[in-house]
Amino acid sequence: MILAQLIWLTLLAAVLILLPIAPGLRRSYPYAWWCLIGYPVTVIRVRLTWRRLTTNLGLAVAKRPGRALLGDLVVRGDPLKPIPPRLGVPKLRRGGLDVKVRLHPGQVPEHFLSAAEALTHAWRVHAVRLFTDERGFVTLSALAWDPLRAPVVPYQLKQRVLRAVVGLLEDGRAWVIDFRRAPHWLIVGATRSGKSTLIASLVKELAPQRVALFGIDLKGGMELSLFEDRLSALASTRTEAARLLAELVAETEARMQLCRSVGARSIWDLPAKLRKLPVVVIVDEVAELYLMATREDKAEVGEISTNLLRLAQLGAALGIHLVIAGQRVGSDLGPGVTALRAQLAGRICHRVSDAGTAEMALGDLSKDALEAAQRITLAEQGVAITADTDGQWLRARSIHVTPDQARRAARKYACLAPAWPGLHVDEPTEGVYL
């Protein structure tokens, strides 16, 4: 008890000493301000308001029921001394804090989800998010401010193949698209939502890496032509796309045979001299691949759908990765799109024009993420909801990459684009190794 009081007095004294310099420190060095002043003050607020908040919100539970037997009468009243859920030690993190809460028997995380707004107001933070990673516990994550107003990556991660830093997460960490963690990605967003900027940021980060890049852009190549110098192939019509995907499936099968011949389960287990170059295939406006007008279109669409699904199912272990992007990606495009979606572990949803696209991107992961995506406004260009294999979601914002920056990066690293002869010949080349 004495030690706890000493800790509280020390925190209070430190806050009082630093209060005069707080405004200037917050403007110039926000993360230092949070560590020295914001975090201790918020911890005090959390501790002081916890019992009252949980009682008012119905989250505290009394040991005795609010009724008693008086003779032959049952007297009802308010429960006496309700006990709040046990609060853990708030842990400092960059631009926020995390605190674990132990639930009372019978409580579920949804009970706390409805209290997030009240907690945000009482603790005077930007937002409170809820995460569940252990049965019987929830983690409340408080964000000190919104770092997405001006996304600047606070530090550079160590360069690694198939990992790209594309922006900033709302908790202050760098936003990383890691193909070794989530091998395939779905990116959706309406016009001027930030989808193209995100793709530009992704290609700019992948350009200096030992990676083969391919593009499929059925808007005549207008979007991906910025990176054409760095792309090994760019398909701008559905016929070219069908041929390219067939060649990539052949490449996948060849890599599969190679791994089997040496007893490897993935290309990463192969000896260095046999290891093949990783491949990233960027498909923009995927809906164009599935539109059908004639019977001939139906056969071509069926072939494209099958090959995309095969690449998604087999490519992860063989170093072939997909980035599927589009303004509209709904179940109305056919069962092939829904089956493909199930293989895309990484999801990114910008502002969208229809609820079906947001449902396709996030509906099978989290209702909360879906609601958050549908609240993105026109003014929040570049803001998106992102989720990958850990099942958690966060708001994020990509760093703005201009067309000139994208074009310069593609030209600078054009020498790293391996030749791909199959796209512009009459017959597909079987099993071309990269």
Ordered per-residue pLDDT tens for the chain, 434 residues: 566 666 666 766 666 666 666 666 667 777 788 888 889 889 989 999 999 999 888 888 876 655 555 555 545 655 567 889 999 999 998 788 999 999 988 888 888 888 888 999 999 998 888 888 788 899 998 988 877 876 666 555 567 889 999 988 887 778 899 999 999 999 999 988 999 999 999 999 999 999 999 999 988 888 898 999 999 999 999 999 999 999 999 999 999 999 999 999 999 999 988 888 999 999 998 988 888 767 777 888 889 999 999 999 999 999 999 999 999 887 778 888 889 988 999 999 999 988 888 888 888 887 888 888 988 988 888 899 998 766 678 889 988 888 888 899 999 999 999 887 654 433 333 434 45
Residue type, 432: V
Note the pTM of the prediction, 2 decimals.
0.76
The domain limits of the chain are: 2-62+79-145, 148-416
Residues 6 or more apart from 368 whose CB is under 8 A from it? 113, 130, 393
Q: How many whole angstroms separate alpha carbon 34 and alpha carbon 60?
A: 30
Contact 236, 217 (CB under 8 A): yes
Name the CATH architecture for the domain at 2-62+79-145: 2-Layer Sandwich (3.30)
Phi-psi region at 95: left, alpha or beta (left = phi > 0; alpha = psi -120 to 50): left
Q: Which residue has the tokens 């049952």?
A: 74
Q: Which residues pair with 233 in a beta bridge?
A: 214
| Burial profile 294-322: b = 16 or more Cβ within 10 angstroms, e = fewer | eeeeeebbeebbebbbbbbebbbbbbbbb
**Which CATH number among 3.40.50.880, 1.10.760.10, 3.40.50.300, 2.40.440.10 corresponds to the domain 148-416?**
3.40.50.300
